[in-house]
């Protein structure tokens, strides 16, 4: 057990425990904040996979953007000051059976498939410049399409989120 392994399992435990709180917590605000720790743990996993750029992107977009957006959603759609901020689960037993079977199947397939694993994993290097180069050469079309998708999605979201009477007045 070297230090690296211990830190790896720390991030794994952080991710799984936080995801468990997200899944099982009765309080929706607790679930949202647990999601923060789950995203943080996944960022740590990215660091272990030598994906430094992705780890930072994960922190900035998921923790800084998506999570804040979700929290806004929680605050805007729960009835007045945390009276009805609790949430409940339903269909617990069939869902647990489906999710458990899914996990067993996936884990079995993923563990017992003989992946062509490289004998010496690539040496650590900064992935940022390489990713930038790929995005502007090999993947320039998906990159442009993604920017259009983001633009359209955000304009559409702003339009949808307006109230009905505003639209009639306009």
Window 101-120: residues binding other proteins (CB under 8 A):
102-103, 106-107, 110-111, 115-118
Q: What are phi and psi of 119, to 5 degrees?
A: -70, -40
Of 156, 136, 159, whose CA–CA distance to 148 is shortest? Answer: 156
* Selected binder of other proteins within 14, 30, 53, 56 (CB under 8 A): 53
Min CB(153)–other proteins separation in Å: 4
Tokens of 118: 């490289």
Closest contact distance (angstroms) between CB of 22 and other proteins is 6
Closest CB 104 distance from other proteins, rounded Å:
9
Binding flag, residue 33, other proteins (CB under 8 A) = no
Residue count of the chain? 170
What is the footprint of other proteins within residues 134-153 (CB under 8 A)? 134-135, 139, 142, 146, 149-150, 153
Phi, psi angle pair for 138, to nearest 5°: -70, -35
Helix (H, G, I), strand (E, B) or coil at 151: helix
């Amino acid at each position: 057990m070297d230090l690296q392994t211990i830190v790896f399992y720390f991030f794994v435990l952080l991710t799984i425990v936080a995801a468990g709180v997200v899944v099982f917590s009765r309080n929706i605000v607790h679930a949202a904040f647990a999601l923060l720790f789950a995203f943080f743990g996944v960022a740590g996993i990215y660091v272990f996979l030598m994906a430094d750029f992705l780890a930072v992107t994960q922190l900035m977009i998921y923790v800084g953007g998506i999570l804040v957006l979700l929290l806004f959603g929680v605050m805007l759609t729960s009835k007045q000051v945390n009276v009805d901020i609790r949430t409940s689960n339903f269909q617990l037993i069939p869902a647990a059976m489906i999710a458990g079977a899914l996990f067993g199947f996936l884990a079995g397939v993923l563990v017992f498939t003989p992946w062509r694993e490289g004998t010496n994993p690539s040496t650590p290097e900064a992935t940022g410049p390489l990713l930038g180069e790929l995005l502007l050469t090999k993947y320039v079309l998906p990159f442009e399409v993604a920017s259009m998708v983001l633009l359209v999605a955000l304009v559409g979201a702003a339009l949808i989120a307006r109230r009905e009477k505003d639209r009639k007045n306009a």
